[in-house]
């Protein structure tokens, strides 16, 4: 379930909006969920972090990955437009 949450928002954004995400944005957003959200969730689940750590991890996986996707895509889209023009 944790991997599904990590890729949920980036995949939905890629499917619903044309030319919204860049490759770098998708990878950066997914990396936030994988490298920060999943370890935090595992800490909450198995090492005594409790429900607060688990809830923070889920929010970070879902909304953090979406926000990072959007920010990095906005920054790299301008670079791609300059290169391809």
Instruction: Spell out the per-residue pLDDT of the chain, length 85, in tens.
Output: 777 877 888 888 888 877 788 888 888 988 988 898 888 888 888 988 888 988 888 888 888 888 998 899 888 877 665 444 4
Closest CA to 30 of 79, 56, 69: 69
What is the pTM assigned to this prediction? 0.76
Sign of CA pseudo-dihedral 70, 72, 78, 84: negative
């Amino acid at each position: 379930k944790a991997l599904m949450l990590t890729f949920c928002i980036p995949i939905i954004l890629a499917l619903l909006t044309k030319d919204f995400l860049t490759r770098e944005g998708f990878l950066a957003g997914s990396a936030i969920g994988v490298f920060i959200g999943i370890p935090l969730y595992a800490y909450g689940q198995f090492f005594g972090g409790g429900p607060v750590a688990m809830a923070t991890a889920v929010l970070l996986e879902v909304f953090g990955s979406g926000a990072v996707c959007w920010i990095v895509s906005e920054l790299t889209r301008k670079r791609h437009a300059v290169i391809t023009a």
